[in-house]
Amino acid sequence: MGAQADRLTGLVSSDYRFNIPHAELRDAQIAALNERFQEKKDGIRLLGHRAREAGISEVTSLDDAVKLLFPHTAYKSYPENWLMQQRWDKLTQWLNTISAHPVTDIDLDGITDVDDWIARLQAAGHYVSCSSGTTGKSAMLIASQADMDWSKVDTVNVFAWGSGVQPAQDRRIMGLAPVAKVPKNEIIGEAQRAAFGDPAKAMFQYPVPPITVGSLTRMVVLRKAMADGSALPGDIAEFEETSRFRQEAMDAAVHIAADAMIEHRADKLYIAGMWNALYHVAKAVRERGYSAKDFNPDNCIYIGGGLKRAQLPDDYQQFVHETFNIPEGRHFQNYSMQELNSGMPKCREGGRYHVPPWIVPMILDKDGDALIDHGHDGEVEGRAAFFDLSLDGRWGGVITGDRISVDYSPCACGNSGPSIRDNIARYADLDGDDKIGCAGTVDAYVRGVA
């Protein structure tokens, strides 16, 4: 990295990292963006293409940086039939268009499925984490060992900052949600357990089958075949049997988890999950006659993700808190995404997500083509784009599918850095579709090269 990128990422464990006004960061961030561009432009083929297309040889402003961002769809720009036909050679070539490091010398012989392919890549030092892909193709995000090492540090720091819980290894970890089995999730989970979990107390893991990219991909393939009429009777039977098995496992998991929560209610708990599962486990605990008065008064909770279209009562958060005796300030939420390598924790006093100095926020128009004109003073709403200076294994700049409101004024919590209002929405949910202007040309380039 260059001097400015090193300086900004060096604040990862600083107590004042969220208290630096944007005006004091602006010049250093632009210099750091240029450092990253000069380092990566010849190594990441898609970045080189974007730079040539825009006529950019140096980043001197955020307007320059916007022209070099990748739409989030770039990470799912591989032809879907390569995955379905198990063309691991082609998919590996595709990874080379977005990777900062050459993806070579991968043993592709005898690969059985996408999970096996991901494992082979990991053995060679390339960590591919995929989005769930429950309604379509999975995005594939390649990362390096340096990225994994960063995630271990950052995840502990943001949880401690956002929850006030120190990494004292004094809690029983209660995992109350299914988690996708991808490298980044596993690394983060290991780091959280090592920092906050009591090594003498076994972690509770939600008792459902592992959610792997392969298992999700298979269901997507079957669902599409059924929709277009090409599914064979055996395919339909497999889909129905797998769906039934998973639903039964999910239903049973709620009651097993509720019993485990009751069994360990006297322990100081670190509860992790998503709102839907947490609510249903809490409901089962209440039905068994237990509530806040029965649980340790120093519990904490880590919320991973939003509602994911789950339909819950208006008071679902209060219900979960009151069931498990979560004190004020011990509730942790974090704004991030697979495309980034760092978190933006929600503060306890202002209820806003705080942007660290090594993440450069850019607010774009709806099409994602240009910055919204504002003076970095006060609040601005638009399409979220970010550059994560901590990323090593791929380009750090991404245009997201989220609409956010960033405020460059001090937060009610007292921190002076930029923060994001808790009203984040997905354009696909708002409009029923989401189109990013540069996505088509990026997709065409990647397909042509791979």
* pTM as predicted: 0.90
Instruction: Flag the least confident range among 240-254, 374-388, 428-442.
Output: 428-442
- Whose structure tokens read 């090409």? 230
> How far apart are alpha carbons 291 and 393 in whole angstroms?
46
pLDDT at residue 435 greater than cutoff 70: no
Considering the chain, what percentage of its residues have pLDDT values greater than 90? 68
The arithmetic mean of pLDDT across residues 287-291, rounded, is 98
Structural domains in the chain, CATH included, are 3-146+336-449 (3.40.50), 165-328 (no CATH)
Above 50 in pLDDT, residue 439?
A: no
Among 28, 29, 15, 22, smallest CA distance to 407 is for 22
pLDDT of the residue at 306: 63
**How do residues 376-430 score in pLDDT, each as one tens digit?**
788 999 999 999 999 999 999 999 999 999 999 999 999 999 999 999 988 887 7
Model pLDDT for residues 341-389, shown as the tens digit of each residue:
999 999 999 999 999 999 999 999 998 989 998 877 889 999 999 999 9
Regarding predicted confidence, which is higher, 268 or 140?
268
If you average pLDDT over residues 124-151, what whole number do you get?
Answer: 84
Q: Give the per-residue SS3 of 223-286.
A: HHHHHHCCCCHHHHHHHHHHHHHHHHHHHHHHHHHHHHHHHCCCCCEEEEECHHHHHHHHHHHH
For 212-226, 268-282, 288-302, which range has the lowest pLDDT when averaged over its residues?
212-226
Residue 309 banded pLDDT, cuts 50, 70, 90:
low
